[in-house]
A and B are shown apart, each in its own frame.
Chain A
C-alpha cells in the first residue's frame, strides 16, 4: 500500500539515510514504551532500591512483593472483575443496537439518513461532564446508582458513535448482490441481515468490538460519578485511589498500574492491524 507513495528512488542505496531512519524509529518506539517499562521496573525492585539516589537503571534484586501485595488486596481483584463486566456488557449492548442502526444507514434508503447519522456522530463531540448532574438525579430516582447498569447505560451512549461509524464503514464494503440474491429467494430485510450480512461482516464487527471494549474499559468519569464502593468500581477508579491507600508503597502502585495495562498491551499486540484499520476507517475516505 505504502510502497507506491513515497521514498522511491530517494532511499535506494543511501545507507546513511536508512541508518538515521532506524535510529529515529528506535527512539520513537522507546519514548512510546518508556513509561510502561520504567513503571514495570519500579514494581519489581525493593523499597531501598526504589528510594535510591541516583536511581538505578536496571533492577538489582527483582522481587515480586509488590504483586503479592496487590493481588492479596480484595478491592483490586474486585476492580478487575468489575471492569471486565462493565466493558464486556457495554460492548455487547453497543454492538446490538449499533449494528442494527448501522445496517439501516449503510444499506437502506430513507430520507432522514444524514440527519440521523449527524445526530449520532454529534454525541462524540458531546462533553459528558455537562450531563453528569441530571443523569445522576435520573439514575438515583430509578435506583441505578452504584450498580453496573448506571455506567453501562452511560458508556453505551457515548460509545455508540464509534460503533455505528465503524460498522457503517464496514457494512458499506460488503458486496450488495448477495443480499439482493437472498431477497429474491424470499428473505426479508431482517433475514438478509442475519443470514448474509452478519457472517460476512464478522471481521469488521470483531474490530468494532475490540475498540468499543477498550473505550469502555478506559472510561473514568461516569464510573467515578455513579459508583461508590469497590463492589462495583472498575480499575480506572480503584487504581488512582491506591495513591492514598498505599501512601508510600510506590512499588504496589506501580504493580497495580502494570497489571491493568497487560490485557490492553496483549490486545494491541495481537490485533494491531485490525485496530489501525478500525481507527482510520472513519477519518479517512478512500
Chain B
C-alpha cells in the first residue's frame, strides 16, 4: 500500500484533533496503560507463537525456518487428531445441553416466587468453584472404589468397566461435569435477558389469540436472540479451550486441543515447535468462531447505546 501525502495529512490532522483536545488527550492517557499490558502480555506473544511455529524451535532457541512443516506434522499426529475430535464433540454436546437446559430453567424461574435468593445462591455455587476443584470432586465420585456414581452406574448395569479407565466414558463424564457447572450461568444470563422483554408484548399477543408455542417462537426467541448469541458464544469459546477439566478429571488421560499444546510445550518439550503450531491453530480457529458469531449470526458487539 502507498501512503499518499493526502493520507498523511489526514492522519496528521486526525492525531492533531485527537491529541490537541485536552479531554481526548486525557482519555488516551487513561486507556494507554491497559493497552500496553495487553500488547506485551497477549499480542506480542501470539506473534511470537506464530514465528516459533514456523521454525524448528525448542524452548531455548528459535532454530531453522521450516515453513509449514510443523503444521503438517501436527495434522499427522494421531494424538492431536483425537484431541481435536474430543474438543469438537465436547464443545458441541455440552453447549447444546447447557443452552437447552439453561433456557428451560430460565423460563421456569422467570416469575416471582418465594426462596428466590436461595435458588440464586444454589445456582451460583457450581459456577463459583474453581474448575479444577470441581473436577477433583467429581473424580472422587467417579472413582471405582469409593465413587458413588461409578457404584450406581455399575449397579444399574450402565457400565462394564471403571469410568476413569475408559476414554469414551471419561468424555461423557467431562460433558456431564461441564453441564453441571455452567448451565446455571447460562440460565442466569438468559433469565436476565427474559426480564428485559416487556410483559405487555405477551399480553398483546395473547389478546390476538397467539398460543403458548406461538408466543415462544414469535416473541421470546427473537427478542432473546442477542442474549442467546452472547451466552452461546462465550460458552462455545470456553468449551473449545477446555484444559483444566480434562487435565484433572481424567488425570491427564483425556486429550483436548489445549492439553495437546500444554504437553508439547510444557511437559515433554520435545514437541515444542509442533505444540506451537497447534497453539496457533487454536488461536486462529477460535478467532474464526468468534467472527462467525459476529458476522454471520449478527451478534451485536457495539457498546455504544
Residues of chain A touching chain B, judged by Cβ–Cβ distance below 8 Å, are 1-8, 11, 21, 24-25, 28-29, 31-33, 35-36, 38-39, 42, 50-51, 53-55, 97-98, 100-101, 103-105, 108-114, 116-138, 153-154, 156-158, 160, 164, 168, 189-190, 214, 217-218, 220-221, 225, 235-237, 239-240, 242-243, 248, 250, 253-254, 257, 260-261, 264-265, 267-269, 272-273, 275-276, 279-280, 283-286
CA distance A82 to B24 in the complex (A): 40
Check if A239 sits within 8 Å of B133, measured CB to CB: yes
Q: A100-B33, A261-B129, A264-B128 are in contact. List 12 more A-B contacts (CB 8 A).
A: A7-B110, A38-B141, A108-B30, A119-B35, A121-B301, A130-B261, A135-B45, A153-B37, A168-B303, A225-B262, A250-B143, A260-B133
A253 CA / B94 CA spacing, docked (Å):
27
| Interface stretch (choices B2-10, B74-82, B167-175, B278-286) | B278-286
* Chain B residues with a Cβ closer than 8 Å to the other chain, count: 111
Report how far A56 CA is from B215 CA in the complex, Å.
48
B272 contacts partner chain A, Cβ-Cβ < 8 Å: yes
- Interface pair B110/A134, CB less than 8 Å apart: no
Q: Which of A33, A104, A134 contacts B45 (CB 8 A)?
A: A134
Question: Who on chain A is nearest to B233 by CB?
Answer: A125
Determine whether B70 belongs to the interface, using a CB cutoff of 8 Å to chain A.
no
| Chain A neighbourhood of B231, CB < 8 A | 283
How many A-B residue pairs have C-beta atoms within 8 angstroms? Tell me: 320
Q: Chain A binding site: helix, strand, loop or mixed by DSSP?
A: helix
Q: Which A residues touch B197, using CB under 8 A? A: 5
CB pair A97–B128 under 8 Å, yes or no, is no
Contact present for B241 and A280 (CB under 8 Å):
no
Choice from A101, A111, A133, A273 contacting B31 with Cβ under 8 Å: A101
Chain A's nearest CB lies how many Å from the CB of B259? 9
Which B residues are in CB contact (< 8 Å) with A221? 243-244, 258, 262
B185 proximity list for chain A (CB < 8 A): 279
Q: Compute how far the CA of A28 lies from the CA of B115 in the bound complex, rounded to whole angstroms.
A: 13
> In the complex, what residues of A have CB within 8 A of residue B286's CB?
125-127
Q: Is the interface of B mostly helix, strand, loop or mixed?
A: helix
Are B192's CB and A283's CB within 8 A? yes
The answer, yes or no, to whether B188 is at the interface (CB within 8 Å) is yes
A97 engages B34 (CB within 8 Å): yes
Complex Cα distance A157/B44, Å? 13
Is the beta-carbon distance between B131 and A220 smaller than 8 angstroms?
Answer: yes
Which of the residues A168, A242, A283 comes within 8 Å of B230, measured between beta carbons?
A283
Query: Chain B residues with Cβ under 8 A from A123's Cβ?
Result: 38, 42
Contacts of B134 in A (CB 8 A): 35
**Judging by beta carbons under 8 Å apart, are A105 and B261 in contact?**
no
The answer for the CA separation of A250 and B164 in the assembled complex, in Å, is 15
What separation, in Å, do the CA atoms of A202 and B110 have in the docked complex? 29
Instruction: Please tell me if the beta carbons of A257 and B18 are within 8 angstroms of each other in the complex.
Output: no
| 22 CB < 8 A contacts A-B | A2-B112, A4-B198, A5-B197, A25-B115, A32-B125, A38-B148, A55-B148, A101-B30, A126-B42, A127-B286, A137-B59, A189-B23, A214-B128, A220-B132, A236-B132, A253-B136, A253-B140, A261-B129, A276-B120, A280-B188, A283-B189, A284-B227
Question: Contact between A108 and B137 (Cβ–Cβ < 8 Å)?
Answer: no
Whether A36 lies near B125 (C-beta < 8 A) is yes
Contact A127 B23 (CB under 8 A): no
Docked-complex contact B124 and A104, CB < 8 angstroms: no
Task: Give CA–CA (A226, B46) in the complex, Å.
Answer: 17
Given A21-B113, A136-B265, A235-B133, answer yes or no on A130-B279 (Cβ-Cβ < 8 Å): yes
- For the complex, what is the distance from the CA of A105 to the CA of B45, rounded to whole Å? 26
Collect the chain A residues with CB atoms within 8 Å of residue B117's CB: 272-273
> A134 — which chain B residues lie within 8 A by C-beta?
44-46, 48-49, 52
* Identity of the chain B residue whose Cβ is nearest the Cβ of A45 in the assembled complex: B146
Q: Known: A132-B261, A133-B279, A221-B243. Is A189-B26 also a contact (CB below 8 A)?
A: yes
Please measure, in the bound complex, the distance between the C-alpha atom of A51 and the C-alpha atom of B140, giving whole angstroms: 12
**A29-B119, A160-B34 known; A243 vs B251 contact (CB < 8 Å):** yes
Distance A285 CA – B197 CA, assembled complex (angstroms): 11
B158 is an interface residue with CB less than 8 A from chain A: no
